[in-house]
Amino acid sequence: MNHNQHPLRHYLTITGNYWAFTLTDGAIRMLVVLYFHQLGYPPFSIAMLFLFYEFFGVVTNLVGGWIGARLGLTVTMLVGTALQIVALSMLAVDPAWLSVPYVMAAQALSGIAKDLNKMSAKASVKLLPTTQDHDNRLFRWVAVLTGSKNALKGIGFFLGGLLLSVFGFRAALLILAGGLLISLVITALLLPRRMGKSAAKPKFSHILSTTPAINRLSAARFFLFGSRDVWFVVALPVFLSSVLGWQHIAVGTALALWVIGYGVIQALAPRLLGKNKKHAPTSRDVLVWTSILAMIPAAIALGLGSAFSPAIIVIIGLGIFGVVFALNSSLHSFLILAYSDRDKIALNVGFYYMSNAAGRLVGTVLSGWAYQTIGLGGCLWISSAFVIAAALLTARIGKLETRVTPEVS
């Protein structure tokens, strides 16, 4: 069956699987953090549990696109979902087995699963719109998929805490694994096996992009996501807890609400940006919004050095940063698909999200080091510098854009 015969049904199937996976991804992170905190693990040991999760995200995105091009995106999506079920089951064992190396191994598997699933879902969307309004519909579909994912990840934080308090650690994990198994079966039944499979078998050497616009957009993505995580992942929650004196539940709730709001803005990006059928986004739009974003961390850092309340400065600044960052992320997610031809979509998206994962990894490590040495203000200045680097890289894409005009089916 040709996947273009039922584009909306396939889009809903892909989105449904992505939603189910994302709920478990957010829930498992909260379950692990809260449970091991209850067991008395120090913060550094808890952070180490997620080191392989981030590292293998980089590796998976790099190799996953090549695998997806050879085997098809449906296969990589199903494999990613199955691996997450295995990771959840690995943690649902006797607590005596839950040493740091064992949990790191389970989290590594979860990291591989997450990025296989994300790469597959986002690349598949490129293959679905078939109308003359291809670019406009593609932007809307990518925005909804990406935005809803982030909103659901925030909901997953709440779900993890709720399941832990009501059912306990092991039962919560088994409930999540059971729900994801149902999603796996439905997806396997409804999606065509050959979706995204390249007509020519790409060589392993082809995992690195040879398209200059895609390379620059990927490099910009590295700095964009590094700019977020350098102050959001470690520095911000520690600042809210230790400096502002917030309780852990207040910190967790604030960050979850931020992620949900961020996802909502992403989903609404086409409407908020005023894009219509005649004007699909270009790199110029990314440059404008990235330039605006660069000023926000710097403004927060200056505000923290003023006489104003640091709590108000951080809360307002975090909200503004979230809105502008979400718009940037949606534009990026559209352009990587628009710049890719159909036969290379899995390879290009895998390479692109490898840069995304590398930015998160570097940002996470820098967040802990920079906060410990130069405080939250220092993290914010690094964030601003990262966004400026992203803007400079984006500015050079415009000259190449005529050579990568999005394909209309």
The pLDDT value recorded for residue 405 is 42
175-194 pLDDT, tens digit each:
999 999 999 999 888 877 66
Averaged pLDDT of the chain? 80
User: Could you tell me which residues come within 8 angstroms of residue 136 by beta carbon, excluding any fewer than 6 positions away?
Assistant: 270, 275, 276, 277, 280
Measured CA to CA in angstroms, residue 240 lies from 251, 379, 384 at distances of 7, 14, 20
pLDDT bracket for residue 227 (50, 70, 90): very high
Name the CATH architecture for the domain at 3-404.
Answer: Up-down Bundle (1.20)
The residue with greater pLDDT, 108 or 70, is 108
pLDDT, residue 402, reads: 46
β partners of residue 276: 279
Tokens of 167: 């059912």
pLDDT on residue 81: 93
Cα–Cα distance for residue pair 298/388, rounded to 1 Å: 11
Taking residues 69-93, what's their average pLDDT? 87
Q: pLDDT at position 209, please?
A: 58
Q: Say yes or no to pLDDT of 88 above 60.
A: yes
H helix and E strand count, the chain = 14, 0
Sequence ranges of the domains in the chain: 3-404
Give the up-direction half-sphere exposure of residue 17: CA atoms within 13 A in the CB hemisphere: 37
Q: Could you tell me the pLDDT band of residue 408, with boundaries at 50, 70 and 90?
A: very low
Q: Does residue 90 surpass a pLDDT of 70?
A: yes
pLDDT at 158: 78
Q: How confident is the model at residue 138 (pLDDT cuts 50, 70, 90)?
A: low
Residue 102 reports pLDDT greater than 70:
yes
> What's the pLDDT band for 321 if we cut at 50, 70, 90?
very high
For 83-103, what is the HEC assignment?
HHHHHHHHHCCCHHHCCHHHH
Selected residue with higher pLDDT from 178 and 403: 178
Which carries the bigger pLDDT value, residue 98 or residue 340? 98
Three-state secondary-structure class, residue 11: helix
In tens, the pLDDT along 341-390 reads 665 666 677 777 788 888 988 887 788 788 888 989 999 999 999 999 99
Q: Which pLDDT score is estimated for 226?
A: 93
90-99: average pLDDT: 87
Query: What's the pLDDT band for 280 if we cut at 50, 70, 90?
Result: low
Give the whole-number percent of the chain exceeding pLDDT 90: 24
Mean pLDDT to the nearest integer, 252-259: 82
- Tens of pLDDT along 126-137? 555 555 555 566
Confidence (pTM): 0.72
What is each CA distance from 226 to 231, 255, 291, 382, in whole angstroms? 9, 17, 16, 9
Q: Is 276 helix (H, G, I), strand (E, B) or coil?
A: strand
Contacts of 395 (CB under 8 A, 6+ apart): 287
Reported confidence tier of residue 267, pLDDT bands at 50, 70, 90: confident
Instruction: Say which residue, 344 or 256, is predicted with more confidence.
Output: 256
pLDDT given at position 199: 54
